[in-house]
Amino acid sequence: MSFEVIVVGEGIAGLATARDCARAGLRTGTVEQMMFGGLVTSINELIDWPAGEGGPCSGSDLAASWITEAADAGVESLGGCATGLDASAGGLLLRTDAGTHEARCVVIATGASRRPLGIPGEADYVDRGLSHCADCDGPLVKGADVVVVGGGDSALQEAAVLAHYARTVHVVHRGTTFRARPSVHAAFEQAFAGRGEALRIHWQSTLASIEGTDGIDAVTVAGPSGTSRLPVRAVYPCVGLVPNSGWTGLATAADGAIETDARLAASLPGTYAVGAVRAGYGGRLVDAVADAVLAARSVKESLQC
Ligand SMILES: Cc1cc2nc3c(=O)[nH]c(=O)nc-3n(C[C@H](O)[C@H](O)[C@H](O)COP(=O)(O)OP(=O)(O)OC[C@H]3O[C@@H](n4cnc5c(N)ncnc54)[C@H](O)[C@@H]3O)c2cc1C
């Protein structure tokens, strides 16, 4: 079956784009390699998101409500992992591990993956103390000491969640100030208010190693005055995201984010990019929604020409 538009990725940016395209009367499909929802599904309390009266305020509730809206609008969920994109006589060919699809336009909404710390043995501790979801496993570290690595939005958001469970949250940050948005910073400070002893910030520091037998027993932190060993039970790496763009062959910025013009069109005619995979993305869910509105309008206009 040939589609007018296929959206690759069922994160918030992809779901919103697909829903808006279908509501505009376009035959729309989506391709998703895993579960719908993307990054947002690990967040229990959304910041900077206008949930509204009775609206979803956790990431998984938001994703669940939007996959329903997309389906109700007529979006067809095709499944599969996208592996390549080519121009064809009829428009574009999207290759996936589950087959090839034809569409006149393709919107890339494949988001971004967590950047690894890049220290020896890191992979051995995944799900054995090394976690990317404080909301999921915070209760498991109740009363223990833990480390969050990073100084941006995600790091402070994870630390704020852990403040409810851990005895001490060590935040290891290579900079001298945090980069988080004011709203995220305020939530972080609120979480530790009156519990100053529960927070230790290691400025100008990096995580040098993780050690442990069954799980994590300790980490080594390298800072301005040398290295120190911290006994901890868990490590939460929040050192940035890597755009999932490699499979597209589209023009990207140095960090791998897809370059787009003011209409969110990418380098191959008929392709567009929205959300965390594109260069210049604002970083918040409201920005993903704004991208979706613009991309759906651009796709519709291009198909009417
Ligand atoms: C810890 C953390 C907390 C955050 N908290 C907030 C918050 O409180 N408020 C806020 O506004 N923002 C928050 N954000 C930011 C927000 O989550 C992101 O901006 C938003 O989720 C990006 O959505 P996306 O759809 O662009 O990408 P993603 O959510 O990454 O979705 C991309 C989807 O594409 C799929 N995919 C990837 N590659 C392929 C492929 N080759 N084929 C098929 N499918 C593929 C993935 O499986 C995924 O489902 C937070 C981010 C993090 C990391």
d(Cα 280, Cα 283) in Å, to the nearest integer?
A: 9
Ligand 1 center to 168 CA (angstroms): 29
| Residues of the chain below pLDDT 70 | 1, 53, 56, 305
* Amino acid (1-letter code) at residue 37: G
Confidence (pLDDT) at 273: 98
Confidence (pLDDT) at 82: 98
DSSP state of 106: E
Ligand 1 center to 89 CA (angstroms): 32
Does residue 46 have its Cβ closer than 6 Å to ligand 1?
A: yes
Confidence (pLDDT) at 51: 74
Does residue 206 have its Cβ closer than 6 Å to ligand 1?
A: no
Confidence (pLDDT) at 293: 98
Atom of ligand 1 nearest to the CA of 36: 49
* Greatest alpha-carbon span in the chain: 65
Exposed e or buried b for every residue in 149-165, given b needs 16+ CB within 10 A? bbbbbbbbbbbbbbbeb
Exposed e or buried b for every residue in 112-123, given b needs 16+ CB within 10 A? beeeebebeebe
Does residue 31 have its Cβ closer than 6 Å to ligand 1?
A: yes
Ligand 1 center to 230 CA (angstroms): 31
Ligand 1 center to 283 CA (angstroms): 9
Ligand 1 center to 113 CA (angstroms): 8
Confidence (pLDDT) at 34: 95
Does residue 51 have its Cβ closer than 6 Å to ligand 1?
A: no
Atom of ligand 1 nearest to the CA of 49: 11
Does residue 12 have its Cβ closer than 6 Å to ligand 1?
A: yes
d(Cα 209, Cα 219) in Å, to the nearest integer?
A: 6
Rg (CA), the chain: 21
d(Cα 149, Cα 235) in Å, to the nearest integer?
A: 8
Confidence (pLDDT) at 14: 98
Question: What are the chain's domains?
Answer: 2-113+241-304 (3.50.50.60), 116-237 (3.50.50.60)
Confidence (pLDDT) at 1: 60
Confidence (pLDDT) at 44: 87
